[in-house]
């Protein structure tokens, strides 16, 4: 079936990704990071075309740099290629989302046990700080900060679990449902529930309670997963149309 993204033209000038800054890191890595973030946060929505010319203009880079980044995003399953080689943001079905959330539960419950066994004291304090900062961002209505802090939470959790291959796999899985996470956290009621769930997880981790931490994580993933699947089941077009 042809993707709706193959007939959807992105409007030039309607985006706000911003040009890359060359000195800090390799150019291709900057382009990749910018485009990945734009997909995860919903600047480009599932099914939407990724127009090379528009991306080159916005990022102020060559078409070669953009194509290299799009190829990597295809490997990460964030971008798909339609007829005539036209790239678009990968769409996600309700069944695929259900499978991803099930896999997240496996990864996160394993990671929390490793974290409790291996992490230094400072890492426990960092999880507490991030949970508090997430609640503050909720009070301020700062959506971007909520997304960044949730990502930082998992970076800390998996970073101190001491298993880099599992960390890499988790990042790929987490990024694939980025649009659904961003959509959920834009709603204050959803974000408030996520904040309470996050604090419950942190409380159990800080108490070094492995079973309690794992139960809190499973409840959180079940909550967000059910919402995502229901959303995709009830309104499959909404994942593309916002």
Backbone angles phi, psi at 88, to 5 degrees: -145, 160
pLDDT at residue number 54: 93
Range in 98-107, 138-147, 228-237 the model is least confident about: 228-237
Mean pLDDT of 9-37: 69
Residue pLDDT, tens place only, 123-159: 999 999 999 999 999 888 888 888 889 999 999 999 9
Comparing 188 with 159, the larger pLDDT belongs to 159
Give pLDDT, residue 130.
97
Q: Residue 20's pLDDT is what?
A: 62
Question: Contact at 8 Å (CB) between 194 and 216?
Answer: no
Q: How confident is the model at residue 205 (pLDDT cuts 50, 70, 90)?
A: very high
> How far is the C-alpha of 175 from the C-alpha of 78, rounded, in Å?
8
d(CA 172, CA 154): 12
User: Where does 4-89 sit in CATH, by number?
Assistant: 1.10.10.10
More confident residue, 88 or 14: 88
Instruction: Give 85's pLDDT tier (boundaries 50, 70, 90).
Output: confident
| Architecture field, domain 94-241 | Up-down Bundle (1.20)
> Can you tell me the mean pLDDT for 4-16?
46
Domain parsing of the chain, residue ranges: 4-89, 94-241
Q: What is the mean pLDDT of the chain?
A: 86
- pTM for this structure? 0.78
Bridge-based pairing state of the strands 79-81 and 87-89:
antiparallel
Nearest alpha-carbon partner for 109 in 152, 65, 147, 157: 157
Contact 69, 27 (CB under 8 A): no
For residue 67, what are the contacts with CB-CB under 8 A and spacing of at least 6?
Answer: 52
> Long-range CB contacts (< 8 A, 24+ apart) of 53-59?
54/10, 54/12, 54/15, 55/17, 57/12, 58/15, 58/17, 58/18, 58/19, 59/17, 59/18, 59/19, 59/20, 59/31, 59/34
What value does the mean pLDDT take over residues 65-75?
94
d(Cα 223, Cα 96) in Å, to the nearest integer?
16
């Amino acid at each position: 079936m042809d993707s709706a993204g193959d007939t959807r033209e992105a409007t030039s000038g309607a985006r706000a990704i911003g040009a890359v800054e060359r000195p800090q890191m390799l150019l291709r890595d900057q382009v990749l990071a910018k485009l990945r973030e734009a997909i995860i946060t919903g600047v480009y929505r599932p099914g939407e075309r990724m127009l090379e010319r528009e991306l080159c203009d916005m990022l102020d880079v060559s078409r070669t740099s953009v194509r290299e980044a799009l190829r990597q995003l295809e490997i990460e399953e964030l971008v798909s290629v339609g007829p005539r080689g036209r790239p678009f943001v990968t769409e996600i079905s309700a069944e695929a989302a259900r499978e991803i959330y099930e896999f997240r539960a496996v990864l996160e419950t394993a990671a929390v046990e490793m974290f409790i066994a291996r992490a230094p004291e400072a890492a426990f304090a960092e999880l507490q700080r991030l949970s508090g900062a997430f609640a503050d961002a909720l009070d301020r209505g700062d959506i971007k900060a909520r997304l960044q802090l949730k990502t930082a939470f998992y970076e800390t959790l998996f970073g101190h679990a001491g298993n880099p291959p599992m960390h890499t796999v988790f990042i790929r899985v987490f990024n694939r449902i980025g649009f659904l996470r961003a959509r959920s956290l834009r709603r204050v009621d959803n974000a408030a529930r996520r904040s309470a769930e996050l604090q419950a997880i942190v409380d159990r981790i800080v108490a070094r309670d492995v079973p309690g931490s794992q139960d809190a994580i499973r409840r959180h993933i079940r909550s967000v997963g059910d919402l995502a699947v229901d959303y995709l089941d009830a309104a499959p077009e909404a994942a593309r149309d916002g």
